[in-house]
Amino acid sequence: MLRKLAPYLAYSYLSFVKWTTRLRVRGAEHPKELHKKGQRFIFAFWHNRQVFFTTTHRRQGFSVLVSLSRDGGIIAKVMELSGIHAARGSTSRGGAAALREMAAVTERGGDLGISPDGPKGPVYQVKPGVLFLARTLNIPIVPITNALSNKFVIKRSWDQFQVPLPFGRAVLSYGAPIWIREGDDLDAAALAVKAAMDKITSDAEKAL
């Protein structure tokens, strides 16, 4: 019963966080320019900062890759309540089905979201999945991050997972789009995406 109630409690709590947090946005021109051109893209965000995006990107037509674990099921339900579609799968399980589902999303005019270091790490390391998806679908990666002044950090988690708390300040930051072309060195591409994500994260923390 508690597991069934958990997504609704989490959604209500995050709604409270949304309305009590002062938000500042940086780099919003990057996704806006892509949308003006009719270009779909993939948001890439670090796994430990994913929760706050369910407050900033509600009902915007995104589809986010979520693991097939039991905890992933709770996350998927919270996302559903937030108007964010969950494509269930990972690089280790259900990957092919998730890829087909996410490809269908872009064909319908939607955008995607992936945490390149999820679901199990290593933390802040870009794994090949997001690069393969961007190259296969021929869409760019847009780094995205957030920084929170008021948060609870789960110290024992592999990525120091962040849970936003109410009555704080937040910075939402977007980076410039990164294209992965056929023939590109994927190791070099992974380093470039990581560098971009690390930079906007560092800049967002400073902007607080």
CA distance 73 to 52: 18
CB 53 within 8 A of CB 148: no
Q: Is 46 helix (H, G, I), strand (E, B) or coil?
A: coil
**CATH code of the domain containing 69:** 3.40.1130.10
Per-residue confidence (pLDDT) for residue 139, from 0 to 100: 96
**Average pLDDT of adjacent 10-residue blocks, the chain of 208 residues:** 88 97 98 96 96 95 81 84 83 63 84 91 94 94 98 96 98 98 95 98 97
Helical packing angle, 95-107 and 128-137, nearest 10°: 40
**pLDDT, position 69:** 72
Are 163 and 152 in contact by the 8 Å Cβ rule? The answer is yes
Q: Which residues have a Cβ under 8 Å from the Cβ of 121 and sit 6 or more positions away?
A: 47, 158, 159
How much is the pLDDT for 124? 97
CA distance 151 to 198: 19
The pLDDT value recorded for residue 87 is 81
pLDDT value at position 61? Answer: 85
Residue 87, domain extent? 2-207
Could you tell me the CA-to-CA distances from 127 to 4, 39, 68, 157, 194 in Å, in that order? Answer: 32, 24, 18, 19, 10
Q: What is the DSSP string of 108-165?
A: TT-EEEE-TTTTT--TT---HHHHHHHHHHT--EEEEEEEESSEEEETTSTT-EEEE-
Query: Residue 201 corresponds to which tokens in the numbers above?
Result: 């994260």
CA distance 47 to 158: 10
- Residue 112 to residue 133: CA distance in whole angstroms: 10
Q: What are 195's two structure tokens?
A: 């560098």
pLDDT at residue 95, as a whole number: 59
Evaluate the omega torsion of the peptide bond into residue 119 and state whether it is cis, within 30 degrees of 0.
yes
Tally of domains in the chain: 1
